[in-house]
Structure 1
Amino acid sequence: MASSTIMWLDEENNAAEFEPVGTHPHYRRRGLTRAMLLHGMHRARAAGATHATVACLGTPGHPRARELYYGLGFRELSRDAPLVKAAIAG
């Protein structure tokens, strides 16, 4: 598989969410993810969605993903804060 995403359609809130989104490293920078997202957004609009979100690793280690999403018109909405708990010694 070269690239994949799942689009979740929330008909109650007229929203679509793309998550997860990914492309195999050997197939990146070929427009596959962009094409998938554009196709999904067109399908979502046809189904009544008025906005879309994408779950993105917003860390500095993933600038190309963020650039892709910004280039498609997405903007930052929020950032998740990872929660970590140390293992409890048994």
Structure 2
Amino acid sequence: MACSTIMWLDEVNATVEFEPVGTHPGHRRRGLARAMLLHGMRLARAAGARHATVACAGAPGHPAARALYQGVGFREISRDAPLAKPATAA
């Protein structure tokens, strides 16, 4: 598999979320993810979606992913701060 995503359609809020989005390292920089996202947005619009979201985990550490998403029209609306709790001994 060269590229994949899962689209989650929220019909009540007319929103689609792409998550996860990924391209095999041997197939990057060929426009596959861009084509997949654009096609997915067309399908989502046909299904009634008016908004689309994508999560870019660790966005500052993934400038190529950010550039991809911005290149197809996504814009940053928030930055999540991951929280972790170390396991405690039982």
TM-score by shorter chain over 0.5: yes
* Distance change (3 Å), C-alpha of 1:78 and 1:71: same
TM-score, with normalisation over the residues of structure 2? 0.93
What is the aligned partner in structure 2 of residue 24 from structure 1? 24
**Aligned residue pairs: how many?**
90
The runs of at least 4 aligned residues of structure 1 exceeding 6 Å deviation read: none
Correspondences of 1:1-90 after superposition (within 5 Å):
1-90=1-90
Using the aligned pairs only, state the percent identity.
76
RMSD of aligned Cα (Å): 1.0
TM-score, with normalisation over the residues of structure 1? 0.93
Task: Give ranges in structure 2 of 5+ residues lacking alignment.
Answer: none
Give, in angstroms, the shift of residue 62 of structure 1: 0.4
The answer to which of 55-64 and 39-48 deviates more is 55-64
Supply the distance in 2 between the matched residues of 1:72 and 1:57 (Cα, whole angstroms).
18
Give, in angstroms, the shift of residue 87 of structure 1: 2.1
The answer to which of 11-20 and 49-58 deviates more is 49-58
Give, in angstroms, the shift of residue 85 of structure 1: 1.1
